[in-house]
């Protein structure tokens, strides 16, 4: 398959060298080594785009369209400083965070256009919104040893739990009442405010703008007589031991998974999760080993977005867990003390426009009541819950769950 930018027989290294803006997309489908320049050259030269996608059972045509879209968005935005403003030490408003890779460029383009077109908004603003694949360590380092809320940014955006609820990180400011939910939603999207679930912070401190759902992708060719798992209970059955692939490199989603499993099943659930993990193999190892049947995962737990890249009529079947897709919330934090100055920015970030980019471009369901998430109403979500968050030290609990998980996985699997 060819286009004006690359062809499917080219190596990942050659494609990323010509178009570094697609690195995040490769990372987001499981090629973590693409983040590292040395590994990208070492591994990327050994595997073509076509073979890489075959290994992941990802539709070549659909993913190629995503790559071309990212390249053209970057090209269209070549005169725009996407993601980061010019450094201004005297800025009145500071925004930091990470955005999901599949929607980062369209979100930043919309934000830049909004800044240009909106009158009456303080545009003396610093913003640094990196791709989620970069992680949030750079934010953690900036706030870890800071006690005064006056020196931290005014708005933060990120998915996951550890940054925002760890008592050594953002949690210490939460306990002081530094943040306020400025979205002003009288009602949330009915997907997230109903008899079974509510994502509204009862303390009125934290806002959410969307979620990243984790679902099952089933390789039916690898079931070998086993029934398709339809719940989280099902993947813990003995027959799925050493048969499941987990998004361990996606820290935000992985943390959401282990926290929810701990809440529902306790320490035994975390051990079961570790035991069902299949040995992780490097993509090049998989090519050279010719992939024995026992080395292929029957179940891959992944963000809902990527299930749409699988081949039609192929062996891969997406299953939305009947007991709920575990969600990693996309949080939006804003300082209460600067409510008036920040309100226009929060209105934009919580708008229908942004919500539709999240929900329709990225398949990250929006919290906005104005957005149709295009998710069947019978599909449930598994949410950690505000009471659980309030009653636990989330930072320490993540460390505890990770320790139990790694101990149960067994040597050589990760």
Q: How many domains does the chain have?
A: 2
For the stretch 162-176, pLDDT in tens is 889 988 899 899 989
Last residue of a domain, one of 25, 58, 76: 76
In a domain, 30, yes or no: yes
For the stretch 332-357, pLDDT in tens is 999 999 999 999 999 999 999 999 99
Average pLDDT over all residues of the chain? 88
pTM: 0.83
Of 134-138, 266-270, 394-398, the poorest mean pLDDT is in 134-138
In a domain, 4, yes or no: no
Per-residue HEC secondary structure of the chain comes to CECCCCECCCEHHHHHHHCHHHHHHHHHCCCHHHHCHHHHHHHHCCCEHHHHHHHCCCCHHHHHHHHHHHHHHHHHCCCCCCCECCCCCCCCEEEEEEECHHHHHHHHHHHHHHHHHCCCCCCCEEEEEEEHHHCCHHHHHHHCCCCCHHHCCCEEEEECCHHHHCCCCCHHHHCCCCECCCCCCCCCCCCCECCCCECCCCCCCCEEEEEEEEEEEEEHHHCCCCCCCCCHHHHCCHHHCCCEECCCCCHHHHHHHHHHHHHHHHHHHHHHHHHHECCCCCHHHHHHHCCCHHHCCCEEEEEHHHHCCCCCCCCEEEECCCCCEEEEEEEEEEEHHHHHHHHHHHHHHCCHHHHHHHHHHCCCCECCCCCCCCCCCCCCEECCCHHHHHHCCHHHHHHHHHHHHHHHHCCCCC
Last residue of a domain, one of 38, 61, 76: 76
In a domain, 32, yes or no: yes
In a domain, 132, yes or no: no
**pLDDT at residue 10, rounded to an integer:** 95
- Residue 242, domain extent: 213-325+402-409
In a domain, 159, yes or no: no
In a domain, 185, yes or no: no
Kindly tell me if the per-residue pLDDT of 127 is higher than 90. yes
In a domain, 50, yes or no: yes
Last residue of a domain, one of 36, 57, 76: 76
In a domain, 339, yes or no: no
Q: What is the CATH number of the domain that holds 305?
A: 3.40.190.10
Q: What is the CATH number of the domain that holds 62?
A: 1.10.3910
Q: Mean pLDDT across the stretch 43-60?
A: 88
């Amino acid at each position: 398959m060819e286009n004006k930018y690359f062809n499917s027989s080219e190596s990942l290294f050659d494609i990323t060298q010509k178009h570094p803006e697609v690195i995040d997309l490769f990372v987001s489908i499981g090629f973590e080594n693409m983040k590292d320049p040395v590994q990208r050259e070492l591994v990327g030269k050994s595997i073509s785009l076509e073979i890489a996608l075959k290994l992941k059972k990802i539709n070549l045509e659909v993913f190629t369209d995503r790559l071309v879209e990212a390249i053209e968005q970057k090209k269209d935005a070549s005169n725009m400083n996407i993601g980061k403003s010019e450094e201004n030490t005297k800025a009145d408003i500071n925004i930091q965070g990470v955005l999901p890779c599949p929607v980062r460029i369209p979100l930043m383009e919309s934000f830049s256009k909004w800044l240009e077109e909106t009158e009456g908004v303080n545009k003396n603003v610093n913003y640094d919104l990196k791709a989620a694949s970069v992680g949030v360590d750079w934010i953690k380092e900036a706030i870890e040893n800071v006690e005064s809320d006056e020196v931290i940014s005014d708005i933060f955006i990120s998915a996951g739990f550890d940054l925002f609820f760890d008592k050594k990180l953002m949690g210490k400011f939460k306990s002081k009442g530094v943040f306020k939910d400025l979205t002003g939603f009288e009602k949330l999207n009915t997907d997230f405010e109903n008899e079974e679930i509510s994502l509204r912070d009862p303390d009125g401190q934290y806002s959410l703008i969307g979620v990243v759902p984790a679902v099952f992708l089933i390789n039916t060719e690898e079931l070998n007589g086993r029934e398709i798992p339809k719940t989280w209970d099902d993947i813990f059955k003995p027959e799925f031991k050493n048969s499941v692939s987990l998004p361990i490199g996606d820290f935000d989603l992985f943390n959401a998974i282990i926290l929810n499993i701990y809440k529902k099943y306790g320490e035994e659930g975390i051990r079961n999760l570790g035991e069902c993990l299949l040995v992780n193999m490097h993509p090049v190892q998989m090519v050279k080993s010719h992939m024995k049947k026992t080395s292929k995962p029957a179940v891959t737990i992944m963000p809902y977005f990527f299930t749409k890249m699988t081949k039609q009529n192929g062996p891969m079947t997406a299953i939305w867990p009947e007991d709920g897709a575990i969600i990693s919330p996309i949080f939006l934090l804003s300082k209460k003390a600067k409510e008036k100055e920040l309100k226009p920015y929060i209105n934009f970030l919580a708008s229908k426009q942004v919500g539709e980019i999240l929900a329709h471009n990225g398949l990250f369901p929006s919290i906005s009541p104005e957005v149709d998430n295009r998710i069947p109403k019978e599909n449930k979500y598994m949410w950690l819950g505000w009471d659980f968050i309030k009653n636990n030290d989330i930072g320490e609990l993540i460390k505890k769950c990770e320790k139990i998980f790694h101990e149960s996985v067994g040597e050589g699997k990760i």
